[in-house]
Chains A and B, each alone.
Chain A
Amino acid sequence: MKLLVCIKQILDPEIPVRDFSIDREKLEADSANANQVTNIFCENALETALQLRDSVGESSITVICFGRESAEDSLRKALAMKADEACLVMNDLNHTPDSATTAHVLASAIESLGSFDLIFTGRESGDWGNGQTGAYLAEELKVPYLPFVDDIKQTDKGFEVRRQTESGWERYGIPASSVVTITNSDHNLPRIPKTRDIMMSHRKTITRVSFEDLKIRKDELNPQSDSVRPVKLFVPEKESACEFIEGENLNAKIDQLADKIMEIRSTL
């Protein structure tokens, strides 16, 4: 069985406030001083794939990432967690493309890698949180799609998956080759790699794929060709004010306070 996991490297969600800034031209976060990490839902997706491989045996997992040079770290970590192959689709564009473009690039790369029995993505990424790449990818590949999955078993006809919903779980049978997006649950916490596997991960080669290899014309990928574009991007200014409530005694202060609260409520 061949499994494929798409992962994304994002700006560390724990980035210190001081290091976070916005590139006003590109309308995206500036990554100059920022640390990059693997998106957590993508790690959940990899973990779910690893568990599926552990349960069926005789399978291989390929991890693919559309990202910058630094994404190699995320792929190495995936290899350390014991993915079998890793492929970096080099993004040397000037901007970060939207979900549809990303899915298009990924789909071309996946097709060039061969066919897979199941394709995993994280349910969304911690930077923009759009949660659309999986769906677009299924569309591009013309295969069935199921989001918010947290558990997968192999069956005769394909897979039985469990999907998280607001009110509980749903179980579905899905055919092979589908795309699933994985959400987090307490049984797909990403595993800690063993040291020997970390060491081995540095000896493996990561396949690099460029736009040329995929016959994608770079000049067609620009902010204008994206279907969704942010209009404005800024760090919200937080204002806080402090006011002391005066009053003769406690009761008077409480009255004052109550009035104040009512007053603020009416302005909201």
Chain B
Amino acid sequence: MNPSDATREVLWNISNSWIMYALLLPTLLIAGNGILLRIKRWKKGRPVDRLDRPLERLQNVWRHAVLQRRTMRNRYAGIFHAFIFWGFITLTLATTVVFLHHDFGWQIMQGRFYLYFQSLFVDLLGLLALIGVGMAAWRRAFLQPRFLVQSSEATWILVLAFIILGTGFLLEGWRIAATDDPWGNWSPVGSLIATFSIHWMSVETMQFFHWGVWWFHLLLVFGFIAWAPYTKMLHPLTATLNIYAANLKPIGASLKTIDFESEESFGINRLDHFTWKDLMDLDACTECGRCTAVCPAATAGKSLSPRDIILDLREKSRISNKRETTFSDPIIGTAPSLSTESLWQCTSCAACVESCPVSIEQFPKIIDMRRFQVMEEAVFPEPMQQALASIESRGHPFSGSRFSRLDWTEGLNIPEIKDRPDAEVLVWTGCGGSLVERNQKSSRALTKILDRAGISYAILGREEKCTGDPARRMGNEFLFQELAKQNIQTFEKYKVKTVVTSCAHCFNTFRNEYPEQGGQFEVFHHSEYLKRLLDQGKLPMKSSSDRKITLHDPCYLSRHNHMTEDARSLLQQTSSQPLIELERNRQNSFCCGGGGGLSFTEEPSEQRVNRQRADEILKTDVDTVAVACPFCTTMLEDGINACKGSRDIKVKELSELILESLETEE
């Protein structure tokens, strides 16, 4: 037996194979129609540039569609998904090989390639796919994770996949047994079935069953191909396209800019006001539920569910598709997930966006709808009205604060930029850093560190105004743009080139949102800036404390900007003990509950996001929680104080800890 002769007979035991080709045509037509319907829907969306930078986009496809990096973040689901994905890809390739060999006469299905790939590899991958389907079914039936969508569609898909794979193996086994295939052992699963079958069945019976099951298998496969584009099983295609069209900018730069001069409606309350990528998002969703599982509002028991927002919008787009004209129907308030109550629970933490394996952008859509509520309807929660009204009239959102922007400088010699126009950096204290008593201490600490490092800096003092971050995330894009213009004017007046801020929100807005408004300056988060000073040897820190520290990563650094390491490097210098990581850290960090305007609202204590984070922190044995954002500071301090009981645990801002270890130096 020469391995180079190895092959098998294609269409063994099958006559009238033309029926197969005849059936293929309607199958492809039905499937094609399903795909076209979707493409037609996407085309109803508005333009957005998501096809630029093809190389980076292909890289993303490689990472997240082919290697499935994000899918893998969830072990169990990642593994079975990979099994099924690679299994079916391989089986499809194998079928293509048969097709080329038989119908095109390419004669490739032979020799070593036939043995190694077409027999052994395909057989094993098919087995993995079968195991994957089993694991998925087990998860659906018994593990039942909290945010899984149970639908009959999903069950049918698994049942079909199982039968298709199972009958495939039976066909292979019977063929091997009935033809006494000399290369049968190269297909381990098939030859196992062959060995069993020989004991139970005669060659004629096997031939008979082979014939029947072959046509059954074919009908199932064709049926599946025709049906898939109408189900979530189109996702191998839509997900790949969606990953290709993903937002390449940081998440922190993913909100749309409204042109108030030309736009006729502000914010979004109809499907066709979304972009085509937004609409493609809807069809790419695999219903995996990861976004809702990580959503702080959802896990706190509120009604917000980013997944349901996507699925309900999809449902609307499908119904709309049937009635053709209704892409202009209102969407807000038409499903529980789209209720105004839910839309106002989002902290804009972007955990949903970060977790989505197929690059769906959930929270920007929430902001789009908030914009409609605020700018077109002027109906939104009262505490947020107050915060916005305060920004409008006082330039800061902390209605009721008795502090001025200079109170925190009391007793220190902190120059204002009008008195020190040549300052190297402008320290942007932000509303949170200057008007909330707790944060004034951290603001002071930062300036003391800069003094120590010999940096020439200044503050804007009274001339500072809210950056517009809360206004933008609460849906008032108009106010945001006004504030951006005013602040940029102030920067230009003083020729500011470098800004350092300890507020993660201000930082993100400056870095990712001001350039579009004409802001031309360099901005650093203080963790970034202080790390530079450390590297330049300007911060003589001595880790003489033995604090057990953990870091709570702010969403607006870790997820919105993928910045996680500078604060860690700095913290490692402040204590002799190693830094302790929380279960959810870096880009998987869990929100403090303060973003998206939520820090201005009062919530029932059992629904507070900061309590959930505090519980997670209290599970570790740390005595210090380091934070790097004024909103995190106050939210976490409240949360920890409410939950800690008699335990001695402190929330400390990064600057406070650094200053401590600089002071011990003396």
What residues make up the interface of A, taking CB atoms closer than 8 Å to B? Answer: 12, 14, 16-19, 33, 35, 37, 191-196, 198-199
Contacts and interface: CB of A to CB of B under 8 A. Distances in A.
Contacts, number: 50
Nearest to B393: A37
11 contacts: A12-B394, A17-B402, A18-B404, A35-B395, A37-B393, A192-B379, A193-B378, A194-B377, A195-B478, A198-B478, A199-B260
A19 B403 CA distance: 9
B592 to A, nearest CB: 26
A16 B404 contact: yes
Interface string B351-391: 00000000000000000000000111111100001000110
A18 B403 contact: yes
Nearest to B266: A195
A191 B378 contact: yes
B615 interface: no
Nearest to B482: A198
B462 A33 contact: yes
A14 B375 contact: no
A9 B377 CA distance: 27
A194 B378 contact: yes
Contacts of B377: 194
B401 to A, nearest CB: 7
Contacts of A198: 478
A219 B404 CA distance: 38
B401 A16 contact: yes
Contact of B407 (A16, A194, A195): A16
Contacts of B380: 192
B582 to A, nearest CB: 37
Q: How large is the interface on B (under 10, 10 to 19, 20 to 34, 35 or more residues)?
A: 20 to 34
Contacts of B462: 33
Given A14-B390, A196-B376, 13 more contacts: A16-B402, A16-B404, A17-B402, A17-B404, A18-B406, A18-B407, A35-B393, A37-B393, A191-B378, A194-B378, A195-B375, A195-B376, A198-B478
Nearest to A81: B378
By Cβ-Cβ distance, the 7 closest A-B pairs, closest first, are A16-B404, A195-B375, A192-B378, A18-B404, A195-B478, A194-B378, A37-B393
A14 B403 CA distance: 9
A14 B391 CA distance: 13
Nearest to B378: A192
A192 B388 CA distance: 10
Contacts of B375: 194-196
A36 B291 CA distance: 44
Contacts of A193: 378
B645 interface: no
B400 interface: yes
Interface in B475-522: 476, 478
B468 to A, nearest CB: 14
B399 interface: yes
Contacts of A33: 404, 462
A191 B378 CA distance: 8
A196 B263 CA distance: 10
Contacts of B390: 14
Contacts of A35: 393-395
Contacts of B399: 14
A28 to B, nearest CB: 20
Interface string B401-414: 11110110000000
A199 B389 CA distance: 16
A256 B519 CA distance: 65
Contacts of B378: 191-194
A14 B394 contact: yes
Contacts of A196: 266, 375-376
Nearest to A191: B378
A146 B403 CA distance: 39
Nearest to B406: A18
Nearest to B260: A199
A14 B377 CA distance: 28
Nearest to A192: B378
A14 B400 contact: yes
A197 to B, nearest CB: 9
Contacts of B394: 12, 14, 35
Nearest to B477: A195
B404 A12 contact: no
B385 A192 contact: yes
Contacts of A18: 403-404, 406-407
A246 to B, nearest CB: 28
A72 to B, nearest CB: 14
A16 B393 contact: no
B606 to A, nearest CB: 28
A13 to B, nearest CB: 10
Which one of B375, B462, B476 has the highest number of Cβ atoms from chain A below 10 Å of its Cβ? B375
A18 B379 CA distance: 35
A12 B407 CA distance: 18
A198 B477 CA distance: 13
A192 B377 CA distance: 9
A194 B393 contact: no
Contact of B393 (A12, A191, A195): A12
Which one of B380, B389, B402 has the highest number of Cβ atoms from chain A below 10 Å of its Cβ? B402
Nearest to B267: A195
Interface string B41-58: 000000000000000000
Contacts of B379: 192
Nearest to A19: B404
A208 B379 CA distance: 33
A126 to B, nearest CB: 13
A18 B6 CA distance: 92
A126 B198 CA distance: 98
B168 to A, nearest CB: 60
Interface in B394-435: 394-395, 399-404, 406-407
Nearest to B371: A195
Contacts of A194: 375-378
A37 B386 CA distance: 14
A18 B380 CA distance: 33
Contacts of B389: 192
Which one of A14, A194, A195 has the highest number of Cβ atoms from chain B below 10 Å of its Cβ? A195
A185 to B, nearest CB: 16
A16 B260 CA distance: 34
Nearest to B410: A18
Interface in B617-632: none
Which one of A16, A35, A198 has the highest number of Cβ atoms from chain B below 10 Å of its Cβ? A16
A20 to B, nearest CB: 9
B324 to A, nearest CB: 29
Contacts of B400: 14
Nearest to B435: A16
A124 to B, nearest CB: 20
B389 to A, nearest CB: 8
Contacts of B395: 35
A29 to B, nearest CB: 15
Nearest to B403: A16
Contacts of B401: 14, 16
Contacts of B476: 195
